[in-house]
């Protein structure tokens, strides 16, 4: 059969035209969408694996999400940002979430990122304090009243027979070095803090002794908390963001050394002052806390029985105002889609080609006299310089030296 030239021209025109049009409705959804992520820290630290790992490994990018980070002085402050609509997501503890729901605030937990308790009460090795009873009349350091350690310690003290309102005095110390100084100088008698702080203390040469764990020690802890209205109006975006977070957590569990690279690349200012080994010990302490627990069938699962115990203890001892219907506290309907990735290769999106993680040290570019190359020395963390190709390098502390990367 012969085909006319005119027919060929028309056919080619149609094909060319169709090639310029979206193939289906999913093309419209391929745009990058921005979310606001409230972290529970005023300054980024190695514990924020859910932020720097998925950012560094392009997991947010592969899920078509751009993340704007909002820093806060504690989880309570971060939760307030979400409740007010100034942030879309936060990482928060269950006690604060349950109390917020009880106040009628539009927040909901959608996935568990820390399925075990991260807080404890610690003293110096030589302290005469051996039991919780010995804390009566003592000063207890906490990072901030808005931190998850506050409701944890309230329940812990009450369970051990102390009235946290009258038997102990809370002292806000901040976290990290200021908290350690307060403990070693005797400004406080004990500290209620998290596992990353203990690893940080050890990195600075100070070991501490933990008081006996309470009944909540093995209960699930922090979750991804979302603005309820945002979830209702942006279900797919919510899933993609949370999936990127969970992929980052799984990736960090499989590759702790890569998590160190990610931390140094994304938050170079925070990596200054500690060696690679010291930073890695802090990061590993948080990674260990995020590992899937025996009460979870999949990463991100919300273990309701564990949270029921958290609520029961919290209500009994005053850390939680009133018990709440978990149907209002958690939304488990998103989990199947959030978990839709291969846990063996979390840097691969289902149905796509692997996402290449950024190297810790980008390949060097041939240098000219007026430009810099990766690996060159520098003098100020965070300072930038251009390569011959116009690529921007950051000054970072690596192996105790300041170099451009």
Fold equal for 32-115+221-338 and 119-210? yes
Name the residue with tokens 């009349």.
137
Hey, what are 362's tokens? 């980008």
pLDDT at 349: 58
Class level of CATH domain 119-210:
alpha beta
Contact 216/164 with Cβ under 8 angstroms? no
Query: Judging by beta carbons within 10 Å of its beta carbon (0-12, 13-18, 19+), is residue 360 exposed, middle or buried?
Result: middle
| pLDDT reported for residue 13 | 35
Residue 356: predicted pLDDT: 54
CATH (residue range 32-115+221-338):
3.40.190.10
What does the pLDDT read at residue 2? 41
pLDDT on residue 400: 60
Bridge partner list, 194: 119
Residue 338 CA to residue 199 CA, distance in Å, equals 31
Three-class SS of residue 171?
strand
Which parts of the chain register pLDDT below 70? Answer: 1-29, 348-374, 380, 387-391, 397-401
How far CA 108 is from CA of 184, 302, 389, in Å, comes to 39, 12, 46
Task: Show me where the domains of the chain are located.
Answer: 32-115+221-338, 119-210, 361-405
* 274/161 Cα distance (integer angstroms): 39
Q: d(Cα 194, Cα 142) in Å, to the nearest integer?
A: 10
227, β-bridge pairs: 107
């Amino acid at each position: 059969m012969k085909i006319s030239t005119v027919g060929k021209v028309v056919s080619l025109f149609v094909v060319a035209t169709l090639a310029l049009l979206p193939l289906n409705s999913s093309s419209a959804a391929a745009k990058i969408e921005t979310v606001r992520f409230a972290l529970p820290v005023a300054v980024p630290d190695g514990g924020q694996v859910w932020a720097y790992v998925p950012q560094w490994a392009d997991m947010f990018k592969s899920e078509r999400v751009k993340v704007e980070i909002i820093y806060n002085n504690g989880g309570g402050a971060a939760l307030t940002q979400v409740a007010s609509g100034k942030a879309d997501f936060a990482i928060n503890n269950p006690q604060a979430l349950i109390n917020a729901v009880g106040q009628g605030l539009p927040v909901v937990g959608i996935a568990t990122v820390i399925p075990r308790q991260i807080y404890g009460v610690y003293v110096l090795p030589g302290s005469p304090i051996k039991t919780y009873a010995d804390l009566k009349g003592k000063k207890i350091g906490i990072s901030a009243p808005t931190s998850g350690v506050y409701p944890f310690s309230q329940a812990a003290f009450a369970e051990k027979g102390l009235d946290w309102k009258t038997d102990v005095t809370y002292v806000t110390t901040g976290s990290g070095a200021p908290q350690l100084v307060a403990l070693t100088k005797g400004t406080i008698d004990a500290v209620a803090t998290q596992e990353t702080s203990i690893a940080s203390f050890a990195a600075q040469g100070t070991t501490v002794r933990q008081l006996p764990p309470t009944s909540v020690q093995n209960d699930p802890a922090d979750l991804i908390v979302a603005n309820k209205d945002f979830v209702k109006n942006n279900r797919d975006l919510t899933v993609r963001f949370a999936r990127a977070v969970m992929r980052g957590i799984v990736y960090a569990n499989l590759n702790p050394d890569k998590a160190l690279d990610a931390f140094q690349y994304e938050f170079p200012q925070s990596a200054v002052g500690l060696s690679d080994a010291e930073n890695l010990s802090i990061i590993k302490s948080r990674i260990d806390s995020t590992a899937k627990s025996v009460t979870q069938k999949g990463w991100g699962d919300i273990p309701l029985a564990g949270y029921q115990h958290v609520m029961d203890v919290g209500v009994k001892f005053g850390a939680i105002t009133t018990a709440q219907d978990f149907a209002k506290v958690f939304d488990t309907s998103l989990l199947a889609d959030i978990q839709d990735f291969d846990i063996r290769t979390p840097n691969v999106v289902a149905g796509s080609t692997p996402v290449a993680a950024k190297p810790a040290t980008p390949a060097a570019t041939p240098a000219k006299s007026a430009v810099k190359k990766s690996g060159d020395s520098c003098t100020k963390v965070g300072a930038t310089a251009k390569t011959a190709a116009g690529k921007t390098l950051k000054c970072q502390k690596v192996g105790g030296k300041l170099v451009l990367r």
